[in-house]
Chain A
Amino acid sequence: MARAATTTDVFNAIAEPRRREIVGVLNDGREWAVGDVVLRVKLAQPAVSKHLGVLRKVGVVTVVKRGQHRMYRLNAERLKPVHDWVKVFEPYWTNQISRIKERAEQKALERILRAEEAPGNDSDE
């Protein structure tokens, strides 16, 4: 199956880690000039402009021209389909991993206590 174009939908657009990073920068809801995004993500301006172009095409960011600058702003509503899918799984895995941690650490402690109580163990003497 051919890979979907990055501008097919929001899922494909944010599959690229650098674009997710840019979304993270724009997450404060303010308008950002390309130059400021470049400083934050430490990528060359053409690359940042290209990523912003992809995000704009799927509607994740909006752009307005203010004087010499093109200002980008996050359109968080467009990320809802991603949120809707992730929210199903995220709580399940988070809960499971925290239970694994809690239970495994409890078992490790019990193993240490058993070893200390075992007959012939004179480590406390």
Chain B
Amino acid sequence: MANVAEQTVHTLEIVKQEEIAAPIDIVFETILEQMGPDNVNPNGPMPMKLEAWPGGRWFRDLGNNSGHWWGNVQAIKPPTLLEISGPLFMSYPAMSNVQYRLQEENGVTKLRFVHRAMGQIPHDTGVEEGWGDLLRRIRKGVESRVSIR
């Protein structure tokens, strides 16, 4: 079954700038570490793998062939640019472009961060109820099959 509905594509832009008292090569190396093995989310450590070459993957490796692909390296020019594109942690139809751009002046590295995203945001409660109903039906079906055995 296919449903076609007119929906709005939403856009998001987050821009941040930071001045860091460190040489540009150290800042770039640190970005790779923080995006990779030292990655954390607000709930605690969440190690990621970042393959630091064009097309390299940025993903969570949970072992046993399970995990979560966040994106690919779209552009990398050490030590001035890291650009990632992918869905990040959005489990809905959306695409992001994330850029870290670095520039060193007088021993201070200026970091400019941009995250742009576009996609559909699942805030429609009707959709959620639809999924909830489907899951209830699946669970009921599974339970009935288990009880028949």
Contact = CB atoms under 8 A, between A and B. Distances in A.
Given A81-B123, A92-B42, A100-B27, A105 B9 contact: no
Interface in B12-31: 12, 14, 16, 18, 20-23, 26-27, 29-31
Interface stretch (B52-60, B109-117, B128-136, B137-145): B109-117
A89 to B, nearest CB: 6
Contacts of B121: 81, 84-85
Given A96-B34, A100-B111, A108-B26, A89 B14 contact: yes
Contacts of A86: 12, 14
Contacts of A11: 8, 10-12
Interface in A97-124: 97, 99-101, 103-105, 107-108, 111
Given A89-B14, A91-B42, A107 B8 contact: no
Contacts, number: 85
Q: Is the interface of B mostly helix, strand, loop or mixed?
A: mixed
Nearest to B114: A93
Interface residues of B, number: 33
A92 B33 contact: no
A92 B115 CA distance: 12
Interface of A: 1, 4, 8-9, 11-12, 15, 81-82, 84-86, 89-97, 99-101, 103-105, 107-108, 111
29 contacts: A1-B9, A9-B10, A15-B11, A85-B12, A86-B12, A89-B115, A90-B14, A92-B41, A93-B115, A95-B40, A95-B41, A96-B35, A97-B16, A97-B111, A99-B38, A99-B40, A100-B18, A100-B20, A100-B27, A100-B111, A101-B111, A104-B26, A104-B27, A105-B20, A107-B26, A107-B29, A107-B30, A108-B26, A111-B23
